[in-house]
Structure 1
Amino acid sequence: MNIRITGSGSYIPNRVVTNADFAKHLFLDDDGTPLSYTNEVVTEKFKQITGIEERRYVEENLLTSDIAYFAAQKAIEDAKIDPETLDYIIFAHNFGNVKDGAIQTDILPSLASRVKHSLKIKNPKCVAYDILFGCPGWVEGVIQAQAYIKAGMAKRCLVIGAETLSRVVDPHDRDSMIYSDGAGASIIEATEEEGGILAHETASYTFEEAYFLFFGNSFNKDHDPDVRYIKMYGRKIYEFALSRVPQAMKECLEKTGIPVENVKKVLIHQANEKMDEAIIHRFFKLYGKTPPAGVMPMSIHTLGNSSVATIPTLYDLLIKGQLEDQELNKGDVVIFASVGAGMNINAFVYQI
């Protein structure tokens, strides 16, 4: 028995927001004072570091559970399965449903339950639940699905990663330009086909790192102090990721016995182009190698950082041939890896 991704789907929102759309924003430092340079300088530096030129936001009438449902439908169709045969629906997100203009999140009922309802699944033994694991949530959902299948508790699972970060960002914080919306979904199941998930690795660093990402007040001191927004210590996250993620990827790969030369692609959480490139270079440096050309497909330039959705949407675009100059072929070895709030790190090695 091998555990494979047998279907995938994604939802890329229609609203395109370019860096130029932030030209009229009043960006402030964390002490509430205006930045000492123009927004043109802010956006240019931002593009140099993150690689982001534009990002996608959902329409006002859509919620995180809605776009998750759209992606789930596509994954089910792609796998050609009856949704009634699903044993688990595992939904990774971090902020629940936040209505446009609202200040509260809604996770009652769970978003997984809402997706199951939208899919019109009647089977009560299809268990639906949410996980909060930061940006690595979808990867962790896949690892959990694999564990259920290995334990004989399931044969087929739906794992979703979806987020509408545009509704929890501080418009006065330049970091708000990083975040975006999106959804990706995958069917994970036991098959007789060769390959699939070969090894995994997960870790949570909380002693000093737990609050590198957190919910905090707007930089605009006139805003309601009871309304919170996603905040981060970017430099600390960058240093943490570079010190921990490559080693976790190496430990994961070593469990398989596969040489690094056989790794065709690394699908890494689309957090920041500069950081992701540094992680990949450091990973290959652990083996005394340099990264081969094209080993790290990227979607962040046009889709931004949609947290738990970046890897499943990247995989879906890649496996369906929708990324320019990138492809996956039968037998290819791929590493999936992520880092995010918690601070959590995880990875799995997968053979197409």
Structure 2
Amino acid sequence: MIRSCIIGTGSALPRTCVSNAELAERVDTSDEWIRERTGITQRYIAEPDETTGSLATAAARAALEDAGVAIADVDLIVLATATPDRTFPATATTVQHALGGKGFPAFDVAAVCSGFLYALGTADAMIRAGMAKRAIVIGAETFSRILDWEDRGTCVLFGDGAGAFVIERREVEEDGPGILATRLHAEGEHGELLYVDGGASTTGEIGKLRMKGREVFRHAVVNLAEVLREVLDEAGKGPADIDWIVPHQANARILDATARKLGLPMERMVVTVDQHANTSAASVPLAYDVAKKDGRIKPGDLVMLEAMGGGFTWGASLLRA
């Protein structure tokens, strides 16, 4: 059968790491308050010369190196971001040019924190349809640009970063590697629970992130548990078959609640929110790359990716490493 197989991963973080204590010097908060509610201890914040595009390019380069593939052998780039360098052109085309690519399709996907799942699903579908053979799929964000630093309920939650996969069309056996199943969802009726209060065609301003955290938490736990079951059913697997879950790194409470709802031990969750905070579309590939590089995720492991973001949008993808 034809599957999209992950042959390389990479990630990139800004130069500047900001601890909770350092953040408390500029925001009315404390290290204890942040840790207790979110599990976050630090985050990375982009400097003025660091952009979504530059972080995405660095992550893509690392993924290409990990895969042993040159940009000349790539024929698709899909980049998930809610914080593009410019309204247009797509930041994916900026990355394409920076990597030395030319001619093949490169475009952005906007689905906020679940953007990487949307981008991966899109690239996988294009590969299986024969429209591409090898793709770079990226999640990259500079959420620090859209935070209200006077709102301690939101600004402490987010950080900047990027993660990337190189995926390749391969013929494999049924128990072989690759993406097994993906399910994506959206419910626009909840758009006012997590959003940015600006836009090109509304205010003409970029705007700032706004969130009703309690309502988002409630929807996230229910939606993520349901989509994980959908994907497992489609792939003919059960929770006990999963070796690792790589979730969107929103906060430690959501990760714990999702694991309990599925009856899975937290030991099978890849958790990086303490080190990176919520990097939106970057969080899933960034966490996957960390777990792969430190030896937790090994070839043959069954890995579930999942995320939910503003919109609401959410989704999950089951793959064999």
Instruction: Name the TM tier (shorter chain).
Output: over 0.9
Unmatched segments (≥5 aa) in structure 2: 199-203
Q: Identify which of 67, 72, 78 aligns with 1:84.
A: 72
Q: Output aligned runs, 1:60-209, within 5 Å.
A: 60-97=48-85, 106-122=86-102, 124=103, 126-174=104-152, 175-193=154-172, 194-207=176-189, 209=190
Asked which structure has the greater CA Rg, the reply is: 1
Q: Which runs of 4+ in 1 moved over 4 A?
A: none
Q: How far, CA to CA, are the matches of 1:150 and 1:211 in structure 2?
A: 36
Establish whether residue 259 from structure 1 lines up as the match of residue 238 from structure 2: yes
Could you state the TM-score of these two structures normalised by the residue count of structure 2?
Answer: 0.93
Q: Output aligned runs, 1:313-332, within 5 Å.
A: 313-321=286-294, 327-332=296-301
Q: Helix, strand or coil for the counterpart of 1:282?
A: helix
Establish whether residue 348 from structure 1 lines up as the match of residue 321 from structure 2: no
1:96-137 deviation line (CA, Å, top 9, x unaligned) = 12xxxxxxxx23221011001101113x1x101111111111
Unmatched segments (≥5 aa) in structure 1: 28-38, 98-105, 218-224, 285-290
Corresponding residue number in structure 2 for 1:214: 195
1:239-290 deviation line (CA, Å, top 9, x unaligned) = 1011211011001111111222111111000001111110111122xxxxxx
Q: How far, CA to CA, are the matches of 1:242 and 1:55 in structure 2?
A: 23
Q: How far, CA to CA, are the matches of 1:151 and 1:141 in structure 2?
A: 15
User: What displacement does 1:181 show?
Assistant: 0.4
Q: Helix, strand or coil for the counterpart of 1:47?
A: helix
Establish whether residue 55 from structure 1 lines up as the match of residue 43 from structure 2: yes
Could you state the TM-score of these two structures normalised by the residue count of structure 1?
Answer: 0.85
Q: How far, CA to CA, are the matches of 1:292 and 1:233 in structure 2?
A: 28
Corresponding residue number in structure 1 for 2:9: 8
Looking at secondary structure, tell me which structure has more helix per residue.
2
Indicate if the aligned counterparts of 1:247 and 1:283 stay in contact, CA closer than 8 A: no
Q: Residues 66 and 226 from structure 1, CA distance in 2 versus in 1: closer, same or farther, beyond 3 angstroms?
A: closer
Q: Identify which of 267, 272, 289 aligns with 2:251.
A: 272
Indicate if the aligned counterparts of 1:142 and 1:188 stay in contact, CA closer than 8 A: no
Q: Residues 53 and 199 from structure 1, CA distance in 2 versus in 1: closer, same or farther, beyond 3 angstroms?
A: same
Establish whether residue 282 from structure 1 lines up as the match of residue 267 from structure 2: no
Corresponding residue number in structure 2 for 1:339: 308
Corresponding residue number in structure 1 for 2:211: 232
Indicate if the aligned counterparts of 2:79 and 2:109 stay in contact, CA closer than 8 A: yes
